[in-house]
A = this chain, B = another copy of it.
Amino acid sequence: MNKRLFLSVFFLCGLILSSNAQEALFGGQNITSPEVHEDGSVTFRLFAPEADVVQVTGDFLPSVKIETQMGPMDGPGKADLTKDDKGVWSFKSEPLPSELYGYSFIIDGFKTTDPNNPFLIRDVASVTNIFIVGNGQADLYRTQDVPHGTVTRRWYDSPGLGMDRRITIYTPPGYETSKDDYPVLYLLHGAGGDEEAWISLGRTAQILDNLIAEKKVKPMIVVMPNGNVIQDAAPGEGNKGYYKPQFMVPKTMDGTYEGAFEDIIKFVESNYQVKANKENRAIAGLSMGGYHSLHISRYYPNTFDYVGLFSAAIMAREDATGKVYSDFDQTLKTQMDNGYKLYWIAIGKTDFLYDANKEYRSKLDSMGMEYNYVESEGGHIWRNWRVYLTQFTPMLFQ
């Protein structure tokens, strides 16, 4: 085989191996989707000559009311694509604010992924294509040309849960070669999430890299555990193999996790260069992770100087009868009396947990327990939790 032929075969083999390229061979060539334009508008394209109706749906479109058993709720909008004479469908959006967006195509009623965009994020059991519109907030979610921290997936022994468990840990740029000790943020996911949620959906590594480079955030270690006590790891990463992830995982809010949280702190403080004291520990979480943060920061007395409740699922639960939840009022008062630097509550105006958070703030007010409160637009969505992370972390360890 001569060199030229070899290169041709090698290249063709690549085409054959790659189904998108294969599609290119057979008609749908040179398709770029999504294409983010200078002004923030985005063009979506799909080669589907046999389709009758193609739509795009996602959080970049104005939301619409959808009917549910609980009455009307906000759902993602849809837009129609139009077909050209080559069978390529397209839709161009309005200029969009800087954000990380998700979208799906709906082809003759069937909701699916964009074959020209290999960038996807799993949220519970759904896989959604993503794109970023820059020149604003979402530049914090990009990998920029700044020093990068390290992201580690590691397993720790949890005697409290009787298993080895997978955990994701971000260490800041320079950590490995530094002799310094670092502060630690424990960052907890919501229902249906796991140790992958904050690093993928939450863009934790990019946010920390970028804010540390801007000197807005102190270099810190961010520990992202798995809050589902029946899992050793995220679905697909543990010894249960592949199975469809569920939103409501059993035993996630019954006190077991909070009660075993000391295993995580011990693991971190005996395996990393950390400042192992209250002044240098923070804990925050979204939704169920906010519930966990509330209880963990109260249950382990005098352990955390910084607490963040992002759209926290604050309400009491009927199965929450264990030791962790006993003496709630007394332990909360003890937390207040022991003092702390920041107790930060954030929630969106249309979040279904808004009222529960309002009630909790009233309780704190009546106790005289201080907190900072941020009320944002929008509901119970990752867009808010990423923003909250960019707002919360600059206040830590200063």
Across the interface, which residues of B come within 8 angstroms of A131, CB to CB? Answer: 242
Q: Mark A5-34, 1 if CB is under 8 A from B, else 0.
A: 011111111111111110101000000100
Chain B residues closer than 8 Å to A21, beta-carbon distance? 124-126, 247
Q: Which residues of B contact A14 (CB under 8 A)?
A: 124, 191-192, 247-248
Residues in B neighbouring A64, C-beta threshold 8 A:
none
Stretch binding the partner chain, chosen from A78-86, A145-153, A273-281: A145-153
User: Is residue A352 contacting chain B, with contact meaning CB distance below 8 A?
Assistant: yes
Residues of B within 8 A of A147 (CB): 155, 164
Chain A interface residue count, CB cutoff 8 Å, equals: 98
CA distance A111 to B245 in the complex (A): 24
Chain B residues with CB below 8 A from A7, complex form: 317-318
**A6 and B353 alpha carbons, distance in the complex (Å):** 8
Copy number in the complex reads 2
Check A128 for interface membership: any CB of B closer than 8 A: yes
Smallest Cβ-Cβ distance to A48: which chain B residue:
B110
CB of A123 closer than 8 Å to a CB of B: yes
A44-65: which residues lie under 8 A (CB-CB) from chain B? Answer: 48-51
The CA of A151 and the CA of B151, in the complex, are separated in Å by 9
Q: What is the CA–CA distance of A25 and B69 in the complex, to the nearest angstrom?
A: 10
Interface CB pairs A-B, < 8 A, 14: A11-B248, A14-B247, A17-B126, A18-B247, A19-B104, A20-B125, A21-B247, A50-B109, A118-B126, A119-B236, A147-B155, A148-B166, A151-B153, A154-B176
User: Which 10 residue pairs across A and B have the least CB separation, nearest first?
Assistant: A14-B247, A148-B155, A19-B126, A150-B154, A112-B112, A6-B315, A50-B109, A152-B152, A18-B124, A20-B125
Within 8 A of B (CB), among A93-147: 104, 107-113, 115-120, 122-128, 130-132, 134, 142-145, 147
Residues A123 and B313 in contact, CB atoms below 8 Å apart: no
Given A20-B125, A116-B244, A117-B244, 6 other A-B contacts at CB below 8 A?
Answer: A10-B248, A10-B313, A12-B70, A50-B110, A107-B107, A151-B152
> How far, in Å, is A239 (CB) from chain B's closest CB?
5
Residues of B contacting A48 in the complex (Cβ-Cβ under 8 angstroms): 109-110
Is A178 an interface residue when CB atoms closer than 8 A count as contact?
A: no
Q: Is the CB of B120 within 8 A of A120?
A: yes
